[in-house]
Amino acid sequence: MSETVRVSLPDGSAREFPAGTTVLEVAEAIGPRLARDTVAGMVNGDLVDLRTALTADADLRIVTAKDPEAGDVIRHSAEHVLADAVKRLWPGTPIDAGRQDHSEKYQYDFRFPRAFKPEDFEKIEAEMARIITEDLEFDRQEADRAEVREVMTEDERNEMLQRIYGTAFASKKELNAYFARLEELKRRDHRRLGRELDLFSFHPEAPASPFFHPRGALVYNALIDLMREKYAEYGYEEVITPQIFDVELWKRSGHYENYRDDMFFADEFDEVEERSMSVKPMNCPSHCLLFGGKAHSYRDLPRRIADFGRLHRYERSGVVTGLTRVRTFSQDDAHIFCTPEQIETEITALFDFIFEIYRLFGFEDIKFYLSTRPENAMGDPEVWRHAEEVLQRCLESREDLEFTIKPGDGAFYGPKIDFDVHDALGRAWQLATIQLDFQMPERFELTYVDSDGSEKRPVMIHRAILGSLERFYGVMLEHFGGDLPPWIAPEQARVLPITDAVNDYAEKVAAELTKRGLRADVDRRSEKLGYKIRDGETTKVPYLLVVGQREADDGTVSLRLRHRRDEGVLPLDEVVDRIVNAVETRSLKL
């Protein structure tokens, strides 16, 4: 190790320091005020704590409380203060590992003899405040993967722990903004919207498995209809595959070895047929069976096989959350079997497909990640290296995007590209995925006859765009705050008769809307118009068509758009055409 290191600073200057100098010591050398404000450092683009030693030449940016990265550091620090406070108040309390993601909050799990009470939280906050005034230093200890895995496994076997969440910010202003954001999150919570809009529900008899109501099923099926329409344009063929498979299939595919803890198995062994069965957690092995069921020529490829089959995965009760983490779901799942020469063309088309779909939902801010070979990877490392290079080349060929590499985060059968979509509140959701698989075709001995008459292995591309339909449903609801675009709204238009005397005309208006393929209804209740309008707003119907005697006489309607004032009295045909156009073009606007 060199005796000195060269530290390059954001202003273009560089300084020499003894090797082992910490980030904080560099800040102190620059100035005492900067040192007081320092919370961390960015070393070669990586966020590190302020006592990290610099052992080689590096680019360094001092992170202060005013910088965007400071929040993560502050909350991570508060997390450890929380653990210290609980230990001081109740000595001997066992604690679990903290949180990895500190973008909004921190947490610790505690094994405590009783449930924590509100007054306990007050004591904890007061103790944390005292600890902060002591101005103690943090002592960092590192452990290898094996040690961490052993500790985490033992925690999972132990009795239920209690989790305490918290958050922290550099200023009162940031804290107030956070609470305002929490209120907006509550307003948009898809679980609340699901109840209020009569879309779906959950019941203890089917844990973590949603029941979609008639209105909710209309939205669900609209998502499927969208994908089916695009499948026709992009050359996909849809299949239907079984729910239950012999366990031997999952052993052959590699899922039994790498995924069995997340699968549902039959309770009893079938002694007559001497076999065990399981419910499928994914479609890829069944698509391999389909492909391998007949001979293929290179002229048949690519084959794009799509499947909306229902999947089941054992998600532990502590992590299931509304629609975003369930045990039964469908995916807009597909697998492309192609020649090696077709990979880049297929992935380029997938990018176009994905962007086209996301634009329909107003998802413009997308982050891209390339995940490479994990520890449990199947197959030859050289094949993996080639697959990673192919995906990286596909990403680099698009000048309109930048990507981040996630080392070791690939699937056990191949590297992948993940798409993180940011919703209206700026939250990231991992939705689409493209996975390049050379392993499963090998395991299932899939072949095609090439132009020279030789047998070759196809390449398998796993892909989903919406991902889990259930999860996407929840993300979409929160993104729009329940105000779904007209094309996917369960009720697209509602006719509001002012009096019973015009009910016949109201029915005629609704019939005209229905005839044009719209989902429309009449509010036939003998209520005041104001009540009907408020109910239409509450149920988030995009178009309210108010009709009175004048409208009935003139063949018009008074159009009211969701969350807006009246558009005025307009001819019925003009209003119907307007709504039909918004639906057919899948417009985000009313």
Token representation of residue 420: 């993180």
Q: Specify whether the CB–CB gap between 478 and 190 falls below 8 A.
A: yes
Gap between the Cα atoms of 258 and 412, Å rounded: 7
Measured in Å, how far apart are the chain's first and last C-alpha atoms?
A: 65
Gap between the Cα atoms of 335 and 303, Å rounded: 8
Q: Which residues are catalytic?
A: 284, 313, 331, 333, 335, 416, 462
Angle (nearest 5°) at CA 370 between 368 and 371: 130
Q: Report, in angstroms and rounded to the nearest whole number, the Rg of the chain calculated over CA atoms.
A: 29
Gap between the Cα atoms of 202 and 216, Å rounded: 13
Distance from the Cα of residue 40 to its chain's centroid = 29
3-state SS of 224-267 is: HHHHHHHHHHHCCEEECCCCEEEHHHHHHHCHHHHHHHHCEECC
Any idea what DSSP says for residue 3? S
Token representation of residue 71: 């929040």
Backbone φ/ψ region at 445: left (φ over 0), alpha (ψ -120 to 50), beta: left
Gap between the Cα atoms of 194 and 304, Å rounded: 34
> What is the pairing mode between strands 303-307 and 328-338?
antiparallel
Gap between the Cα atoms of 570 and 554, Å rounded: 10
Nearest to 93 by CA among 116, 66, 63, 76: 116
Q: Work out the burial of residue 501: count CB atoms within 10 Å of its CB; fewer than 13 is exposed, 13-18 middle, 19 or more buried.
A: exposed
Q: Specify whether the CB–CB gap between 482 and 195 falls below 8 A.
A: no
Residues 6+ apart with CB under 8 A from 84: 128, 131
CA distances from 193 to 51, 108, 259 (A): 46, 30, 33
Please give the single-letter amino acid code of residue 213.
Answer: H
Residue with tokens 């209105």: 215
CA distances from 26 to 68, 140, 175, 302 (A): 20, 19, 30, 57
Q: Specify whether the CB–CB gap between 243 and 310 falls below 8 A.
A: yes
Say how many C-beta atoms besides its own lie within 10 A of residue 69's C-beta: 15
Token representation of residue 146: 């094996």
Gap between the Cα atoms of 210 and 325, Å rounded: 10
Any idea what DSSP says for residue 321? B
